[in-house]
Amino acid sequence: MSTLRMAAKIARRELTGGLKGFRVFLACLALGVAAIAAIGIVRAGIEAGLEREGAAILGGDAAVQLTYRFAEPDERQWLEDTAVQVSEIADFRSMLVVDRDGQTERGLTQVKAVDDAYPIYGTVRLTPDMTLQDALANQDGIPGVVIDPVLVDRLGLSIGDAVRLGLQEFVLTALIDSAPDEAAGGFGLGPRTIVATEALEASGLLGAGTLFETEYRLKVSEDQDLTALRTAVEERFSDAGIRWRDRRNGAPGVSEFVDRLSAFLVLVGLTGLAVGGVGVAAAVRSYLDEKTTVIATLRSLGADARTIFLTYILQIGALALFGIAIGLVLGALIPILLTPTIEARLPVPAAIAIRPGPLLEAGLYGLLAAAIFTIWPLARTENVRPSALFRDTTGGADGSIRPIWILTTGALLIALVGLAAILSGLITLTLWAAGAILGAFIVLLVAADLIRRLSKRLSQTKTLRGAPTVRSAVGAIGGQAGETKSVIISLGLGLSVLAAVGQIDWNLRNAIAQDLPEVAPSYFVVDIQNDQLDGIRGLLAANPAVTDVQSAPMLRGVITMINDTPAEEVAGDHWVLQGDRGITYSALPNENTKITSGAWWEADYTGPPQISFATEEAMEMGLALGDTLTINVLGRDITAEITSFREVDFSTAGIGFILSMNPAALQGAPHTHIATIYADEAAEGQILRDIASAYPNITAIRVRDAIARVSEVLAGIAAAVTYGALATLITGGIVLIGTAAAGERARIYEGAILKTLGAPRRAILINFALRSAFLGLTAGIIAIFAGVLAGWAVTTFVMDTDFRVEPVSAFGIVAGGILVTVLTGLLFAWRPLSARPAQVLRARE
C-alpha cells in the first residue's frame, strides 16, 4: 500500500473524532477568508456596475474633453462626421444667486451646460416628473434650470423661484433626482445645477479665459472600433491637449479609487489572516500535542516520519479546506444579503453578484495562510519518537525542524506576498505592508519571549515574596510559553492595526481640520477677469476685516512631452500629468518664493520660454534643470526649458503653482486671475456678498466648506478602513478566546491545587485576572509603539504631513487590550473557580 493511501486511511479514521478542537482553527480561517472575499465581491460588483453602465455614466460611447474652450467649428464638424450623434457639455463652478426680500443668498454650484442631445444614454430624473428639455425650456422668456435638492434646500428655494448664474436669470423648474453621468463627475465642491448652454450666452460665465471644461460625447455605431476611433481622434486633435474616455471605462477616476481602496482593504484583510494564523498554528500545535501518544504508537508500529507527516497534513488540509469553504460562503453571502444597503451607500452603480474571481483570490490567500501557519507545527511531528510513550507525553513534538520546512515556509510567504502584490496592483504598498506585518510579528514574538523570561525571573525575586497572588500570576506568564505568545501576538497585531489606523486618521483630520484653517485663506476666488482685478483688490482693501489678498494670473494646460518624449513615458502616471494643471506667469519671483536650484529669469526677459518647476514634484518625476516641457495651453503647444526649481507648499491652501513661466511665454493667451482672501471668519459672509454683488461672474469658494467636504470624503474612507481593522481585531478576539479555552484545563487544575493549599476563590480570581491584564497591557503597549511607527511612516512618507502622537486612542488601545484579555480570561475563570478540587485532582491521578 502506498504511503499516501496509508496516510489517508489513518487520517480518515482520526478525523472521525470530530471537530471540537478545531473551532478556533475554522473560525480564524473562515473569518479572514470571508473578509477578503466580501471585499472582492463588492469591488467586482462595482466594476461590473461601472462597465454595464459605462456608456450611461460617460454620457456616450466615447467622450472628448477640452479644457478652457469649445471645439472650433472644423473640429466640431469632424466629430459630427465621425460619430452617429454628438452632444456638447460645458462644466464649470459658479455661484447660484437668489434675491429674496431685499436679501441676496449665494451658493457654490457645479454647473453643467447641456445641449438638446443630452443625455445620449439614460435619463435625467426630475421632480416634478418631466423631461429635461421641458425643464430647461424658456418659461415666459426666462430659461429654466434644474438643481440638486441639497442646494435647493440650502438656499430655501421652491419650484418657480428666480435664480441667477452670472448675469443671467433662470427659473427653477425641477429638482434633480438623478443624472446618468454623475458617477463619472468625481469629486465636486458644489451641488449640481443643469442649464441649457444657449441660455448662458448672456451670463458672462463662459468668456475666454474663464475656467471651464467642455466635453463632446459621441454616440457611435455598434460596429465602430473604439480603439481605432481613439487613434483617429488623437491624430486629429494631436496639438489640442484633449482627453479621451470611452464606455469601456466610463469613470476611470472612480474605478481607480475603488480599485485602490479595495486593494488597501484586502491588505488589512491579510493582516486579519495573519492574526488568525496565530490561532490556526496554536490549534494545530495543541491538536498534535494531544496526538503525541498516537504518533508515538504509530512510530512504534513501524510508521515512518513521512507517513506520519502525510497523515496529519491530510487531516489539517481537509480541515483548512472546510474552513476556507465556510469563509467563501460567508464572504459571498454577506454582500449579497447586504446588497440594498451597500448599493444605497455607493455613489456609483454596482452589480453585486457571486463571481468566481474574488472567491478564487480569497481562497488562494486562505490556502497559503493556512499552509504557512501549519507547516511548522506539522513538521515537528517528525521529532516524535516511540520513546514518548514512556515519558511525559506533552514533550514529544518539540524541538527544531528540518531546513526544508523553513525554506518551504519562506517560499509560501513569498508566494502570498507576491500574489497580493500582483492582484492588488499596489506593489510598493503591498511590500511595505508585508514588511510591516512581518516586522510586527517578529517584534511581538521577541517581546512575548522577553516578557516570559522577565516574568519568570521577576517571580523568583524577593520583591514579590509575600504577595502570592501577584507572584503566581507573574510566574504563570513566565511558565506558559504557548499562551503568552498566542495572546501577545494575536492581540498585539490586531491592536497594532487599530492603533495605526487611529494615528493616521487623527493626523489626517488634524492636518485638515485644525492646522490648515490657522493659515489657510477664507476664500479662493477664481475667474477674475483682467479688467476686474484692480476693482476687487480695491474693494477688499477698503474692508478692515481683510488681512491679506494674494492674486496670480492663471491658465490651464496639459504637460504632453518631456524632452520631446511623451510625458507618460518619462514620468509614468505621476499626478502632475493627470489632466490639466494650473499655470501662472510672473516677471519677478514672489517675495516668499524660495529657489532651490537654477535662477529666475530677468524681469524683462523675452527670449525662449522658461519654466520654474516645483522642486519636490520635479524630483518625483525625474526632471533636471535644462529639461524641456511641452505644455498644451488652449490648443497651442508651448515648449519651454526648466531654468529653476522652487519650493511650493500646498499644505497652507494658499496659491501654489507647479508651473510658473516667464510672462512673454504666455503673452496673448487669454487668462483669468485667481486670488486668495485672508480675513476674519466673522466677516466672511459680508465679503462674499460684496464681491458677488459687484462681480456676478466670479466664483468664490469658501475654504472651510471645501475642507468640510474633503473631511467628509476622508471620514468615509477612514470608516471603511476602521471596519477592516475591526475585522482583524475580531479575529484576534477569537484567537484570544481559543487560547483561553485551550488553557482552561490547566487553569482548572491550577485552581484545584491552589484551593487544596488554602487559596480562597477571590485570590484565585485575582490571580487569573492579573495574568490576563499583564498580557493585555503588554500587547497594548507594543501595539502603541507599532501603531505610532506605522502612523508616522504613512503620515510622513505617504501623506507628506507632520506627525504627532495622538494620545487618546493610544491609551484607549492599551485600555482596550487589558479589557479584552481580562474579560476573555474571566469568561474562562468560572469553571476553574467552581470545580471541586477532589474531582479535578483525582482525574489527574
Binding site for other proteins (CB under 8 A): 392, 459-460, 462, 465-468, 471-472, 475-476, 478-480, 750, 752-763, 836-839, 841-842, 844-845
Residue among 277 and 743 whose Cβ is closer to other proteins: 743
Residue among 646 and 771 whose Cβ is closer to other proteins: 771
Rounded least distance, CB 373 to other proteins, Å: 26
Q: For the chain, how many residues are written? A: 845
Rounded least distance, CB 822 to other proteins, Å: 19
Q: Residues 238-252, buried b or exposed e (16+ Cβ, 10 A)?
A: eebbbbebbbebbbb
Rounded least distance, CB 712 to other proteins, Å: 53
Residue among 459 and 529 whose Cβ is closer to other proteins: 459
Alpha-carbon gap, residue 141 to 161, rounded angstroms: 14
- Cβ–Cβ under 8 Å, residues 250 and 50: yes
- Cβ–Cβ under 8 Å, residues 180 and 136: no
- Cβ–Cβ under 8 Å, residues 126 and 178: no
Rounded least distance, CB 431 to other proteins, Å: 41
Residue among 317 and 479 whose Cβ is closer to other proteins: 479
Phi, psi of 465 (to 5 degrees): -65, 135
Residue among 93 and 771 whose Cβ is closer to other proteins: 771
Alpha-carbon gap, residue 557 to 812, rounded angstroms: 49
Residue among 344 and 757 whose Cβ is closer to other proteins: 757
Residue among 345 and 465 whose Cβ is closer to other proteins: 465
Residue among 123 and 461 whose Cβ is closer to other proteins: 461
Rounded least distance, CB 467 to other proteins, Å: 8
Q: Residues 642-658, buried b or exposed e (16+ Cβ, 10 A)?
A: bbbbbebeeeebbbebb
Alpha-carbon gap, residue 208 to 310, rounded angstroms: 77
Residue among 599 and 753 whose Cβ is closer to other proteins: 753
Rounded least distance, CB 378 to other proteins, Å: 24
Alpha-carbon gap, residue 549 to 11, rounded angstroms: 79
Residue keyed to cell 503591498:
430
Alpha-carbon gap, residue 487 to 780, rounded angstroms: 11
Alpha-carbon gap, residue 361 to 420, rounded angstroms: 9
Residue among 475 and 598 whose Cβ is closer to other proteins: 475
Rounded least distance, CB 23 to other proteins, Å: 24
Strands in 503-625 per DSSP E: 523-528, 546-562, 565-566, 581-585, 595-598, 610-614
Rounded least distance, CB 836 to other proteins, Å: 7
Alpha-carbon gap, residue 583 to 598, rounded angstroms: 19
C-alpha distances (whole Å) from 762 to each of 356, 477, 759, 829 are 55, 19, 8, 11
Rounded least distance, CB 841 to other proteins, Å: 6
C-alpha distances (whole Å) from 301 to each of 92, 179, 322, 389 are 83, 76, 31, 12
HSE-up of 138 (CA within 13 Å, CB side)?
Answer: 7
DSSP state of 600: P
Residue at 682: amino acid letter = A
- Cβ–Cβ under 8 Å, residues 366 and 323: yes
Alpha-carbon gap, residue 208 to 775, rounded angstroms: 69
Alpha-carbon gap, residue 671 to 665, rounded angstroms: 13
Residue among 193 and 472 whose Cβ is closer to other proteins: 472
Rounded least distance, CB 399 to other proteins, Å: 15
Rounded least distance, CB 375 to other proteins, Å: 27
